[in-house]
Amino acid sequence: MLAYRQGDAGAFETLYVRHKGPLYRFVLRSVKVHALAEELYQEIWMRVIEARGRYSVQAKFTTWLYTIAHHRITDHWRKRGLQLVEADDADPPAPRAHEPEPRAEGRQDLQRLAAALAALPELQRETFLLHEESGMTLAEIAAATGATEEAAKSRLRYALAKLREAMGDG
Amino acid sequence: MAEMERDEKVSAGYRALGAEEPPRALDEAILAASHRSPSRWRVPLSIAALLVLAVGVMLRMLPQRPDAESVALAPQVMETPRPVASAPAPEQQKPAALATEGRMRKEVAAKPASRESIAADAARSTPAPAAAGAAAETGVGAGKLAAAPLTPEAWLERIAELRKQNRKREADESLAEFRKRYPDYRIPQALR
């Protein structure tokens, strides 16, 4: 990013190629609608481009990028009148390893996983997606989303428990 | 804080959901924008350009002020049907040196009039403080006719002078005009 700030357009292309897939999936699975995801995705990169003059090495580029993405998606939810709140106060579902249950394999598992992911509260889904797509540590996820590490860890734990359960492995 | 271990089964399931990528057109639009984005000099240059523009506008506006005044005064100057004094006072010959301050001064300098005629015209019409100022200033010389607007105090002094010259009607008219323009100004008892 520093090279790009100095005018090296090729440096931006390198960054873009590295991050475009994970960021796009993060946005797409956050908002679930392709057209909207494309719009937000483009806006995020435009903000990166516009802000390059202000970029300083205070965090990894990845953290900075997903911070911008987090803010843009949060703005989107707010405009739609949604408030992002912690959805679970109780402990996450306990494993049910000893309960025999019918296991659907393959496609059905994935459909249930996709449905469970879409049904997650926004903050839990965001944390899970960042964990899966960005490769950031919990501390970095916390920094990007303006949460404490403890909160980020809790959100991820809840999300994983629900997804695990949806896959019949709870 | 210790990192949470990745849930391999959930992760594998998640990966199996697909690896969507942005459309190629979107890639191209973003990369094109990254090339078009401002260079690091563009912002400072745009600020500099803005400053130059602002200074240019200011410089253009400054000479227009005398023009505006001359428009306001023009009728008064035109209304002066007095013959040009055959032997203008030394002060009346000076306007040439002062003419650079505005077209208005040039007009007055080109038609130097007697003190009385200009003062009388000004006292008669007193169209605006600027014009009234011009009238009062003629007591010193026509070259200062277009000088700064007449202050209320100077205006009142001029009215007092008219009274002293027993030009009662002009003094009354000028005083009436003064009251219109400065309704809250406390007029000395002697002038009421």
Give residue-wise pLDDT tens across range A5-58: 777 778 889 999 999 999 999 999 999 899 999 999 999 999 999 887 777 777
Mean pLDDT of B28-45: 71
Do residues A124 and A159 touch, judged by C-beta distance below 8 A?
Answer: yes
What is d(CA B112, CA B96) in angstroms, rounded to the nearest whole number? Answer: 11
Q: Which one-letter amino acid corresponds to residue A157?
A: R
What value does the mean pLDDT of chain B take?
A: 64
- What pLDDT, on the 0 to 100 scale, is given for residue A2? 67
| A112 to chain B, closest Cα gap in Å | 10
What are the domain boundaries of chain A?
2-79, 107-166
Residues in chain A closer than 8 A to B46 (CB atoms): none
Mean pLDDT of A81-103: 53
Q: Look up the ipTM and state it.
A: 0.80
> Which residue in B7, B33, B34 is closest to A160 by CB distance?
B7
Residue B126 has pLDDT above 70, yes or no: no
Phi/psi for B163 (5° steps) reads -65, -40
Question: What does each C-alpha distance from B76 to B92, B178, B192 come to in angstroms?
Answer: 18, 17, 27
> Which residue in B11, B26, B43 is closest to A53 by CB distance?
B43
Give residue-wise pLDDT tens across range B85-124: 444 444 444 444 444 444 444 444 444 444 444 444 444 4
What is d(CA A28, CA A5) in angstroms, rounded to the nearest whole number? Answer: 28
Report the chain B residue with the minimal C-alpha distance to residue A9: B35
Q: B14–A45: do the CB atoms touch at under 8 Å?
A: no
Q: A107-166 maps to which CATH number?
A: 1.10.10.10
What is d(CA B138, CA B44) in angstroms, rounded to the nearest whole number? Answer: 52
Q: How many residues does chain A have?
A: 170
Residues in chain A closer than 8 A to B4 (CB atoms): 131, 138, 153, 156-157, 160
Q: B20–A113: do the CB atoms touch at under 8 Å?
A: no
> Which residue in A42, A113, A169 is closest to B17 by CB distance?
A113
Q: A138–B1: do the CB atoms touch at under 8 Å?
A: yes
Q: A160–B17: do the CB atoms touch at under 8 Å?
A: no
Beta-carbon contacts below 8 Å between A and B? 90
Question: What does each C-alpha distance from B149 to B131, B144, B152, B174 come to in angstroms?
Answer: 7, 11, 9, 15
Residues in chain B closer than 8 A to A156 (CB atoms): 4
In the structure, what pLDDT confidence band is assigned to residue B45 with cuts at 50, 70 and 90?
low
Residue B46 has pLDDT above 90, yes or no: no
Which of the pair, B51 or B86, is modelled with greater confidence?
Answer: B51
Tokens 């990745």, residue located: B6
Give residue-wise pLDDT tens across range B131-148: 444 444 334 333 344 445
Residues in chain A closer than 8 A to B21 (CB atoms): 20-21, 24
By percentage, how much of chain A surpasses pLDDT 70?
82
Q: A46–B14: do the CB atoms touch at under 8 Å?
A: no
In the structure, what pLDDT confidence band is assigned to residue A146 with cuts at 50, 70 and 90?
very high
- What pLDDT, on the 0 to 100 scale, is given for residue A89? 53
Residue B172 has pLDDT above 70, yes or no: yes
Do residues A118 and A111 touch, judged by C-beta distance below 8 A?
Answer: no
Q: A2-79 maps to which CATH number?
A: 1.10.1740.10
In chain A the first and final C-alpha atoms are separated, in Å, by 42
